[in-house]
Amino acid sequence: MSFTEQEVELLSRQLPLWVEASKVRSAYGKTASYIPELAKAPQHALGIHLIDTTGTAVSSGDCSLSFTMQSISKVFTLILALMDNGEEAVFQKVGMEPTGDNFNSMLKLELVRPGIPFNPLINAGAIAISSLIHGKDSAEKSSRILSFFQALAGNDTLTYDMDVYRSESDTANLNRSMAYLLKDNGVLEGQVEEVLDVYFHHCSIQVTCSDLARMALVLANNGTDPVTGVTLIPRRYVQIAKTFMITCGMYNASGEFAIQVGLPAKSGVSGGILTMVPGRLGIGVVGPALNVKGNSIAGVHLLETISRELDWSLF
Amino acid sequence: MSFTEQEVELLSRQLPLWVEASKVRSAYGKTASYIPELAKAPQHALGIHLIDTTGTAVSSGDCSLSFTMQSISKVFTLILALMDNGEEAVFQKVGMEPTGDNFNSMLKLELVRPGIPFNPLINAGAIAISSLIHGKDSAEKSSRILSFFQALAGNDTLTYDMDVYRSESDTANLNRSMAYLLKDNGVLEGQVEEVLDVYFHHCSIQVTCSDLARMALVLANNGTDPVTGVTLIPRRYVQIAKTFMITCGMYNASGEFAIQVGLPAKSGVSGGILTMVPGRLGIGVVGPALNVKGNSIAGVHLLETISRELDWSLF
Amino acid sequence: MSFTEQEVELLSRQLPLWVEASKVRSAYGKTASYIPELAKAPQHALGIHLIDTTGTAVSSGDCSLSFTMQSISKVFTLILALMDNGEEAVFQKVGMEPTGDNFNSMLKLELVRPGIPFNPLINAGAIAISSLIHGKDSAEKSSRILSFFQALAGNDTLTYDMDVYRSESDTANLNRSMAYLLKDNGVLEGQVEEVLDVYFHHCSIQVTCSDLARMALVLANNGTDPVTGVTLIPRRYVQIAKTFMITCGMYNASGEFAIQVGLPAKSGVSGGILTMVPGRLGIGVVGPALNVKGNSIAGVHLLETISRELDWSLF
Amino acid sequence: MSFTEQEVELLSRQLPLWVEASKVRSAYGKTASYIPELAKAPQHALGIHLIDTTGTAVSSGDCSLSFTMQSISKVFTLILALMDNGEEAVFQKVGMEPTGDNFNSMLKLELVRPGIPFNPLINAGAIAISSLIHGKDSAEKSSRILSFFQALAGNDTLTYDMDVYRSESDTANLNRSMAYLLKDNGVLEGQVEEVLDVYFHHCSIQVTCSDLARMALVLANNGTDPVTGVTLIPRRYVQIAKTFMITCGMYNASGEFAIQVGLPAKSGVSGGILTMVPGRLGIGVVGPALNVKGNSIAGVHLLETISRELDWSLF
């Protein structure tokens, strides 16, 4: 299904105004500080790109901005891990539950048995997922991930932002701590540093809003790229990914996002948000200023506005 | 929309078999022990009732079994509190996030500021919600809740199981502890014992699967009873309730239920589950043997089977 | 043993100066706010009374100030519970370990099995201890406690500050929460409100520094009042009490107090501190302004000074 | 002061019997499993060595058994860190409080600000202390530690058990996790792996009961070796160490040990315990079978017996 006429009319008229109104919120957030490179992003930028299954696209705001996927990549490494290993093997290493804790919390890894990450979209879970990607070494694993992401985005030029990669790797003491705890809990296969190298690489893949929108479109279309007709992901794994995006996609603000927006989504600390209207639209958003939960403050506001105005909640 | 022909055909042929297959799981669970009266329920019972918007119903198994709503009532007291107070007032007292903890955990009430319950479907949240129901005293509040539930179920005879009420009230030291902590955190209005009296009353309302199915049908139909055409709940509040049922409805197994079933649902420790296919069906299930997370072990298995076979997941 | 000549000389010359120097610290603390009556105490007061086994006493500062014992009473209810029940029965209900948490934390009651309080000097532990005092009802229990305290202080006029008692009882939602959790964990015997009534009563017993010093002297003298020669406490129970005062007596600042002062001590949120030089001296201090851990900010500073100058640390 | 005549008489007659009686307890414990090499220790061994300030020694049981110091070393690295840096610098990196948690817990490092270890005797604290030892690299730091330990034990031949060192280093994922979390919290200076190398080395120093007793004797004698007359540690640092041994020396069984034994002590997961009668005796014990808290099950029982019989508690 394509955009409805009413949607096209409303979006072309209102979207720039909504973007302006949401942009104001950037002043109340701040760019991520824990990875030094991310702190350099333009705090007040805000862009959105929407694409429907016919390939029709609408965009507004700062859509030329490149940024790294960060946690958004976790949705697709989860999918690749499922494709590589099947559901049963994956869910022996990560659970299916939201945590209520910060995305980098280790409390439940110590308090709750078995000591597996509660879900694949918190940091601990995504690190466990990185260790499940097939490949003879970290280079091959990273290369397989990058190729998969390129196919999903329909963009052969996707690659790493090596400055962010290095910044991330150099300052990742908390992720290292988490990875060694996972290792001690028997969750991680392989060498910790190799697993982390895979993890830092996929977090550092550089995209624009239109790349995110294309990747989201494949999910919205149940795994088949509507532009090429090629099936990239089995439908069941799309279903799993979308469900996690509802329950855990926006860190420990996922519940609120589900109520105020009602769409499957995944955010990253670079300020990106990937979301979709299932069956119809892929959406990419970027706004580097984050709220206290680590989500784009302007991006969340913009999606709340659009979903409410166009009645897009699944619920 | 009514049942599809295919659904009717499949359900009439398969549903009794699926019920039998799921019933076997009851042996691996046990009835709730923390409220003595609940322990008396028939461990191996399993029943399901489905009703569509035309009033057509299908049922199988032990559908004549009466049981108390327990936590299922929390969905509807939340809605009544929203109708009484509006969104803003309600969400000053409870949050919107899943917790990852047991339904009766108090950890986050001590550890996370502000000390409000993370969501209205855990015990602490539902107690806070009980304090928001309008009425000059606990009797009037309880009476308003009962009337609302009767209207939703289209059943004027709904009433309390007073044995369960007394059993619950007498043994509720953990709920009392939680309520006093909420009081100390400034969350509860009014006297703790009065609030708890409202809470124990609505948990003790006695229903059958068909009552649950009718109540669910109103939610599935966005707040309007399709049988009578009467609008009982504003649509926005139905949306809020359904979203919470996805993210928090099955205690700390909500994430797994969303992945394996994919429908808004709420369970109770009596073994009841209320769920729905949005826009089409209301569903009530009962199976008193519980799994370790406090959900009906056979009921969850049955819903997994049906949702998978009929492809009912929202995702 | 009495004061040494050197101590007498040094104390008579320096003590008033040390009191003045410590008093200045009161400006950095504040009186307890969680019991409204306590907030009325004179923030800048500071007094100390020391008595040796010959009955010789030295005092300085605001020694006429009356205040309630609060948590200091927990040392002596522990002792009375030991005398009433023996070690084995008492240590089935409370543990022997410091917690590292705030004195009113409930985390470990939920997280650590069995769910008994870690020690008798945190609030949860002291409530459990109150339930172990013999007596046919709360009035008789309270009366037995008061008589015991009067004997220890050699002061028949010790009684309750009923304003504090009522203030405490009215605002004790957190203590109620804790007591109901203990009840649920199977720790508390009897009705929760009756146990709390005993607890609030002994917390509200009014004393002066000289009363505390006399009570401490009995402990310093291994259970026998050196003035009367009467043995009030078996030596083993004094040993237990003194050990707890070292490891847990100053809330979660006990470790620091042991290092900086090195004497068995117990503080209360009224600003009192009871401490001793084992074998020689009983000491009572009061200074209502508290530090963030809930101990008298000026009182702790004064005891650090005296212990360092007179080399009183046990270690 | 030397042994009293009564002590000599009682020990020579009873000690072998007490050792036999305590040895039986070994059956209820087990050797440490988390470091594979430690699991090989003789489960039923039990030995004790006591030495007084005149050099008179008494021993019984398996005193020829060599074992690694493990956590016992933490007392002396703390002292060396104090000697290298002074109190103020050390206590910016570690606190002074017992935790109530397991010795390898990370909960409080996440939950309590500032995120410094609660005390220097839990694993996290000891790792922080290792980073404070002076030396141009980990080899020099380790070498300074070894020399200090040799001086304290009056034994130039003390050295590492390299099998244990390697086993420890290879399996130390939890310690690595902790160290990276400390690094992230800003507690650790230097490279994580270098700090850990220092830590693993001092944990792997091999001793016998008589070595421990000699080291303890120096502490009992306030820092001066009574045999040589040489002052090895300033008295204030001995005082600090002894106080920590009372409040935190036996992991989260320190409170119970203080009540049942009442002497400053430090245990290690190899089954060693170093303790003392201040002013008079140094004591070394070994019994590899551990209780659930990680202390020698037979060793603790033996010390309870001796302290009770000879009335050695400080309290």
CB within 8 Å of D245: residues ≥ 6 apart: D75, D121, D264, D265, D266, D275
Residue of C nearest to D108 (CA): C100
In 3D, which of B243, B242, B266 has the Cα closest to residue B253? Answer: B266
Chains that touch A (3 or more CB pairs under 8 A): B, D
- Check B58, B164, B218, B269 and give the catalytic one: B269
pLDDT of residue D189: 85
Query: Cα separation of C97 and D99, whole Å?
Result: 9
Q: What is the pLDDT of residues D56-77, one digit of tens each?
A: 999 999 999 999 999 999 999 9
D101–C100 CB contact, under 8 Å: yes
Average pLDDT for residues C171-184, to the nearest whole number?
95
**Mean pLDDT, residues C265-271:** 97
Mean pLDDT of C235-262: 97
Is residue B1 scored above 70 in pLDDT? no
Main-chain phi, psi angles of C264, to 5 degrees: -60, 135
H helices of chain A, where?
5-23, 73-90, 107-111, 123-130, 138-153, 162-170, 173-184, 192-203, 209-220, 235-248, 254-260, 297-310
Give the Cα separation of A109 and D117 in Å (integer). Answer: 19
Q: Which of C100, C239, C246 sits opposite D97 (nearest CB)?
A: C100
Q: What pLDDT score was predicted for residue C167?
A: 93
Q: Whole-angstrom Cα distance, residue D153 to residue D161?
A: 17
Which helix (H) or strand (E) segment is B61 a member of?
Answer: strand B57-61
pLDDT of residue D1: 64
User: Binding site annotation covers B180?
Assistant: no
- What pLDDT was estimated at residue B33? 86
B106:C111 CB<8 A: no
Q: Residue C156 corresponds to which tokens in the numbers above? A: 């028949």
C94, closest residue in chain D (CA to CA) = D256
**pLDDT over 70 (residue C1):** no
Residue in chain B nearest C176 by alpha carbon: B180
pLDDT at A34: 79
The question of whether D24 is a catalytic residue gets the answer: no
CB contact under 8 Å between C119 and D240, yes or no, is no
Q: Which residues of A touch D (CB under 8 A)?
A: 105-107, 110-111, 173-174, 176-181, 183-184, 192
Residue of B nearest to A91 (CA): B256
**Per the annotation, does C71 bind a ligand?**
yes
Q: Residue B189 pLDDT more than 90?
A: no
Phi/psi for A31 (5° steps) reads: -70, 155
Residue of D nearest to A178 (CA): D177
In chain B, residues with a C-beta closer than 8 Å to the C-beta of A252 are 97
The label of the residue with tokens 């522990």 reads C78
pLDDT of residue B182: 97
What confidence score (pLDDT) does residue B171 get?
A: 87
Q: Which of B160, B165, B237, B251 is catalytic?
A: B251
* Model confidence pLDDT, tens digit, residues C26-81: 999 999 987 888 999 999 999 999 999 999 999 999 999 999 999 999 999 999 99
Would you state the pLDDT for residue A215?
A: 98
pLDDT at C163: 96
Shortest Cα distance, chain D CAs vs residue A180, angstroms = 5
- Residue B281 Cα, gap to closest chain A Cα (Å): 14
Tens digits of per-residue pLDDT, B250-289? 999 999 999 999 999 999 999 999 999 999 999 999 999 9
Q: Which residues of A are annotated as a binding site?
A: 71, 123, 168, 175, 199, 251, 269
B71 annotated to bind ligand: yes
**Stronger pLDDT, A197 or D227, i.e. the higher one:** A197
Q: Do B181 and C177 touch (CB under 8 A)?
A: yes
> According to the annotation, is B251 in a ligand binding site?
yes
Distance from CA of C176 to the nearest CA of B (A): 6
Would you call C106 and B181 a contact, using CB atoms and an 8 Å cutoff?
Answer: yes
Chain B contact set for A239 (CB, 8 A): 259, 262, 313, 315
Query: Hey, of A33, A123, A184, A187, which one would you mutate to test binding to chain D, going by the most D CBs within 10 A of its CB?
Result: A184
- Could you give the CA distance from residue B84 to residue C247 in angstroms, rounded to a whole number? 52
pLDDT of residue C192: 96
CATH (residue range D5-70+206-309): 3.40.710.10
Whether C315 sits inside 8 A of D246 (CB atoms) is yes
Q: Which residues of A are catalytic?
A: 71, 74, 199, 251, 269
Collect all residues of chain C within an 8 Å Cβ-Cβ radius of residue B99: none
**pLDDT score of C34:** 79
| Chain D residue numbers touching C312 (CB-CB < 8 A) | none
Considering only alpha carbons, which residue of chain B is nearest residue A235? B315
- ipTM rounded to 2 decimals: 0.96
Who contacts D147 (Cβ-Cβ below 8 Å, separation ≥6)?
A: none
- Residues of B near C (Cβ–Cβ under 8 Å) read 105-107, 110-111, 173-174, 176-181, 183-184, 192
Q: How far is CA A177 from CA A7, A204, C169, D99, in A?
A: 47, 20, 46, 21
Q: Are C244 and D256 a contacting pair at CB < 8 A? A: no
| CB-based contact C255 D315, cutoff 8 Å | no
End-to-end CA distance of chain A: 19
Task: Report the residue of D34, D109, D177 to disrupt the A interface, i.e. the one with the largest count of A CBs within 10 Å.
Answer: D177
Q: Which residues in chain A are contacts of B244 at CB distance < 8 A?
A: 255, 259
Q: D30 an active-site residue? A: no
pLDDT at B4: 93
pLDDT digits (tens, 9 = 90+) for C298-315: 999 999 999 999 999 999
Domain B73-203: which CATH number of 3.40.50.1820, 3.40.50.300, 2.70.98.40, 3.40.710.10? 3.40.710.10
Instruction: Give the pair of three-digit tokens for residue C172.
Output: 């004790």
Residue from D218, D251, D266, D296 carrying the catalytic annotation? D251
Report the pLDDT value the prediction gives residue A36, as an integer from 0 to 100: 87
Tokens of C92: 């089935």
Q: Residue A180 and residue D184: Cβ atoms within 8 Å? A: no
The pLDDT tens digits of the residues spanning D84-135 come to 999 999 999 999 999 999 888 999 999 999 999 999 999 999 999 999 999 9
In eight-state DSSP terms, residue C284 is E
End-to-end CA distance of chain B: 19
pLDDT tier, B315 (very low <50, low <70, confident <90, very high otherwise):
very high
C-alpha distance from B206 to closest chain A C-alpha (Å): 28
Mark yes or no for CB contact D97/C313 under 8 Å: no
Give dist(CA C91, CA A104) in Å, integer.
39
Q: Backbone phi, then psi, for D251, in 5-degree steps?
A: 55, -145
Given a cut of 50, the residues of chain A with pLDDT beneath it are: none
Strand-pair category, D67-68 with D206-207: antiparallel
**Interface contact flag, B177 C173, Cβ < 8 Å:** no
Which of A97, A244, A255 faces B97 most closely, judged by CB atoms? A255
Portion of chain D with pLDDT greater than 90, in percent = 95
pLDDT of residue D202: 98
Rounded to an integer, what distance in angstroms lies between the CA atom of residue D234 and that of residue D82? 10
Q: Looking at CA atoms only, how far is residue A92 from chain D in angstroms?
A: 20
| Cβ(B104)–Cβ(B178) below 8 Å | yes
Q: Is the pLDDT of residue D164 over 90?
A: yes
Residues of C forming the active site: 71, 74, 199, 251, 269
What does chain D look like in DSSP terms, one character per residue? Answer: ----HHHHHHHHHHHHHHHHHHHGGGGGSB---SSGGGGGS-TT--EEEEEETTS-EEEEESTT--EE-GGGHHHHHHHHHHHHHHHHHHTTTS-S---SS-TT--HHHHHSSS---S-TTSHHHHHHHHTTS--SSHHHHHHHHHHHHHHHHT-TT--B-HHHHHHHHHT-HHHHHHHHHHHHTT---S-HHHHHHHHHHHHTBEE-HHHHHHHHHHHHTTTB-TTT--B-S-HHHHHHHHHHHHHHTTGGGHHHHHHHT-S-EEE-TTSEEEEEETTTEEEEEE---B-TTSSBHHHHHHHHHHHHHHT----
C123 in a known ligand binding site: yes
Whether the pLDDT of residue C11 is over 70: the answer is: yes
Q: Decide whether D5-70+206-309 matches D73-203 in CATH topology.
A: yes
The whole-angstrom distance between A241's CA and the closest CA on chain B is: 9
Q: What is the pLDDT of residues D233-245, one digit of tens each?
A: 999 999 999 999 9
Query: What is the pLDDT averaged over residues B124-136?
Result: 98
**How many angstroms away from the CA of A1 is the closest CA of chain B?**
17
D278: nearest CA partner in chain C: C315
Which pLDDT score, from 0 to 100, does residue A1 have? Answer: 64
Q: How far is B108 from chain A (nearest CA, A)?
A: 9
Q: pLDDT value at position A72?
A: 98
- CA distances for C84 relative to B255, C89, C90, angstroms: 51, 10, 9
CB contacts of B105 in chain C (<8 Å) are 110
Residue D160, beta-bridge partner list:
D205
Q: In Å, how far from its chain's centre is CA B276?
A: 12
Domains of chain B, by residue range, sit at: 5-70+206-309, 73-203
The residue in chain D having the minimum alpha-carbon distance to the alpha carbon of residue A184 is D173
